[in-house]
Amino acid sequence: MLNRFDTNSKRAIKIIIGIFTAVLIYKFMTKPGNTFSVLFEFILTAIAFVYILTIHEVSHGYTAYLFGDPTAKLRGRLTLNPLKHIEPIGLLMLYVVKIGWAKPIPVDPRRMRHRNIALPLVALAGPLSNVVFAFVIFVILKSYMGNDVFRVFLSSGNSAVLMSAGWSSIAVSIFSVMYTAFYINILLASFNLIPIPPLDGSKILRAFLPESGKRLIDSMERFGFIIILLLYYMGYLQPIIWKVFNFLINNIFVSMI
């Protein structure tokens, strides 16, 4: 078992390093600027992306554990070690289209106490962790920048705003990565709240549906990913994501500026 785990871990590390190397080469080719700044910003962004996905999945598993389901813990998934959670294609998609995924956390509803309450809360925990993560970033940026600079930067994400305010190149890189992490957290939460299986929103919705509705959600599970891809390529998914995104931004963050 240990040898197999080591082999799987090494394979995952190689794939992730390959993805990061390819993206880094692309950035060097397309983004002008100081080599150190590009590399520094890339490394910070890579770490942020990995932990955005990791924390999302751990939040699902830990919430299930609080309700009596030890499945994720027994399988070694209640850890912040990203190698236990990261799915290379999902990580790559996070870079390419800003929406990605990790390995789904294993849960067993039969082992949960108060199942009717537990199931929607376990599903909600992932998107909620992204919103909380974004909130922490928001508070840090606002505290360091001040309202005026932060308001302009939040609305545009343009690092030139920070340069004109006199921040050093290192600080600009750090703030730019934090802005990206803020943006990705809210986007990932918005995507996962859509009520299409296997997204978290479908599990939250399922808890409030009659039996016929629950059966419909369950029957869609096998084809959910295909439905999501079709909606994405037909252009119907993006407006839904942006409506949820704007709702979260306007109702949680804008009022605090």
| Active-site annotation, residues | 57
Contact yes or no for 217/140 (Cβ under 8 A): no
- Residue written as tokens 């709240």? 193
Q: How far apart are the first and last CA of the chain?
A: 52
- Per the DSSP assignment, residues forming a β-bridge with 86 are 102
Task: Give the whole-angstrom CA distance, residue 200 versus residue 99.
Answer: 14
R_g over Cα of the chain:
20
Contacts of 120 (CB under 8 A, 6+ apart): 203, 204, 206, 207, 208
Contact yes or no for 94/54 (Cβ under 8 A): no
Of 81, 82, 80, 87, whose CA–CA distance to 59 is shortest? Answer: 80
